[in-house]
Structure 1
């Protein structure tokens, strides 16, 4: 299954399927040096599968969690690339969740004014939401996503087999982002989320529908000046909850609480 996304005069493919991580290099015709950025919570086998077929592979592993989206890690990855002679024609690949994608994407946007960036999301949250849209960022001075860039990937590969290694809380966290998409733009997706009795069977369809919603939005409002702000539903309060409760609550859990706040009768009446 493929979705073509056009962002900022750039067009790229999102490929969705099962058991095909090892096809990454051939599928996107990746050449030159490749840095795979991951975290210590991502099964090592995923990065190993992505590395198959690539000629010159380097790896950088960060600590799992939002706390790793910091200036030090950003600087350390850039220094690692300089030390290993990366050029502007080389590649950065994020293999992991939203934190990995945000950090690796911002590194790719910044190194030598921009190198090729690819995203291989391995959490449900990143597969339904943050893998496309071009937002990259780190947290700075205690403010979430305050330093970053809009930088679209060259390609996105989503292998739903990666969901098999996620716990229930991580899956639920991702579902919250799908609920956000459905509540703001697609009642059919909302119905699917509400009525599914076999998540594994419906996961690919939920991912596809969620990404098609985001695709339509970001193609019309890449830099979030209007319509795209609707995708922040639940995030204004959610980010505040996340900052106050980190690391006890996951991002999607905080977004879900934020949506509840703004769906309350008291808020609607205002």
Structure 2
């Protein structure tokens, strides 16, 4: 079993490996009540979690929410609050978010807001959730204004990344998660790039790739929980990526949109004279080898408008995470429109 500690005021551990979910009984030992929040396709895994907690003496119930981004709505959140009330949950109880990033985002926000905060454990079941959404304490829901604009910082007390749950993950979902892994390679850990160049499927070195990506995020979160500095670099590729997700009404997988966003950010850095053409090219070739999209043709004017309400925006300023060389991220504020147009042309096939 691999273990990574996320430092901070209240450190917690990310457990990575087969059977990690069984540690729920240790993490929540002595807890009176718990709710396991999950989507319908994961009923069997949720049932196993319930059984594990019941064996430990916890009064627990599984609560079903919609699958995917449909879970991250105010209506679903209100429904969870009502269920917590029905169960009589108090501040000494706990919420378990079992599933992909959407479910852990929702369950974490419900935990953050119920009685002003109850303990929260994530049991991520996708690569994407294991390396990104399930750790770091960012929780939230989507609104008509944008993705994740309503939320709270509420770190979990533990993350149990049970790799057994990845066996049934579809290839598209697995690849989508790898986009967040390769992102960590571009911004911090070159060994990730080497491993994925040797095996673009990511299947051979899955646990090491997850551990390395988790370590990159843990280092950033431990230094900057509230996203005011270094943690912002984890949003590499996300400014355009989130805009694509919203414009496509979340019909694109997160990792697919972020892959295009990383190519755009690399092209933007190239236009600004920060990133060598060879490294810009590496973004496109490696992502393509991994089976991820690198092009997107859409409404450029609309995408720019959406990007201006991104969480990294400050007032009227448009801000992007870019690379000043591989492994050296920085913020580029209000880039020249000609640079933006040229980067967009590179990912859209010349459409402006």
TM-score, reference length from structure 2 = 0.73
Runs of 4+ residues over 3 Å off in structure 1: 197-201, 265-270
Name stretches of at least 5 consecutive residues in structure 1 with no aligned partner: none
Equivalences, count: 268
Question: Are 1:45 and 2:44 matched, yes or no?
Answer: yes
Q: Which residue of 2 aligns with 1:233?
A: 236
Alignment of 1:1-270 (within 5 A): 1-7=2-8, 9-29=9-29, 31-42=31-42, 44-54=43-53, 55-196=58-199, 199-264=202-267, 267-269=271-273, 270=339
Aligned-pair CA distance for 1:198? 6.9
1:48 and 1:134 mapped to 2: Cα distance?
Answer: 25
Structure 1: how far apart are the matches of 2:69 and 2:244?
A: 13
Cα distance in structure 2, aligned partners of 1:194 and 1:41: 33
Q: Does the CA-based 8 Å contact 1:96-1:123 persist in structure 2?
A: yes
Residue 82 of structure 1: CA displacement? Answer: 0.6
Q: Report the alpha carbon displacement of residue 197 of structure 1 after superposing the two structures with TM.
A: 6.7
1:176 and 1:255 in contact (8 A); partners too: yes
Find the structure with the greater CA-based Rg. 2
Q: Aligned partners of 1:193, 1:218: CA distance in 2, in Å?
A: 24
- Residue 201 of structure 1 deviates from its aligned partner by 3.5
Ranked by relative contact order (alpha carbons within 8 Å, sequence separation 6 or more), the top structure is: 1
Q: Distance in 1 between matches of 2:138 and 2:30?
A: 22
Cα distance in 2, alignment partners of residues 98 and 87 from structure 1: 25
Q: Distance in 2 between matches of 1:241 and 1:20?
A: 34
In 2: Cα distance, 1:29 partner to 1:203 partner:
30
Structure 2 Cα separation of the partners of residues 83 and 60 of structure 1: 12
Following the alignment from structure 1 to structure 2, what is the Cα–Cα distance between the partners of residues 58 and 151? 22
Q: Structure 2: state its 5+ residue gaps.
A: 274-338, 340-352
When the two chains are superposed, the root-mean-square deviation of aligned CA atoms in Å is 1.6
Does the aligned pair in 2 maintain the 1:262–1:268 contact within 8 Å? no
- Distance verdict in 2 for CA 1:267–1:137, change over 3 Å: farther
Q: TM-score, normalised by structure 1?
A: 0.94
Conservation of the 8 A alpha-carbon contact between 2:50 and 2:62: no
- Secondary structure of 2:7's counterpart equals strand
SS at match of 1:152: coil
For the residues of structure 1 that align with 2:16 and 2:30, how far apart are their CA atoms? 18
